[in-house]
Structure 1
């Protein structure tokens, strides 16, 4: 079975809208430890969706890649804490 990574987005900048290059993703609200429940959102045939937790409006922008956003810096990338063993 093939695995796909679902991008996670955060709104640490506090903007009202974020353009993204995918239609299926997870919204975290803010980076941990200030995140809300990670909610899976699917735009389906629409070009926008509002997160029910943080009210961020996500707009689908096909010219963006799966790990890009406008404004920049809204894609969450998990990092291991210092001293954690490598996977």
Structure 2
């Protein structure tokens, strides 16, 4: 059974607003190793939310898919673990 993945977003470039295609996601602040604790954000019925750690404003945009953001480079993918 495949697990549903929660999208992770970052604001490495310091943009004022990140548009996302989901209401529930993780904010990591900046890219590792400069990330803050990965915090789960849930907009609920609202269309925007501010991260309590980095103050990034996220806005829901219905035309985006779950794994998309504007700017596009704000979507973060964890590096795959390598076997030793």
Trace 1:3-82 onto structure 2 (pairs within 5 A).
3-80=3-80
Distance in 2 (CA, whole Å) between partners of 1:39 and 1:51 is: 8
User: Which structure 1 residue ranges, 5 or more long, are not aligned?
Assistant: none
Distance in 2 (CA, whole Å) between partners of 1:41 and 1:53 is: 11
Question: How many residues in Structure 1 have an aligned counterpart in Structure 2?
Answer: 84
Greater CA drift, 69-78 or 1-10: 1-10
- TM-score normalised by L of structure 2: 0.92
RMSD: 1.7
Distance in 1 (CA, whole Å) between partners of 2:5 and 2:48 is: 21
Structure 1: which 4+ aligned runs deviate by more than 2 Å?
none
User: Which structure 2 residue ranges, 5 or more long, are not aligned?
Assistant: none
- TM-score normalised by L of structure 1: 0.89
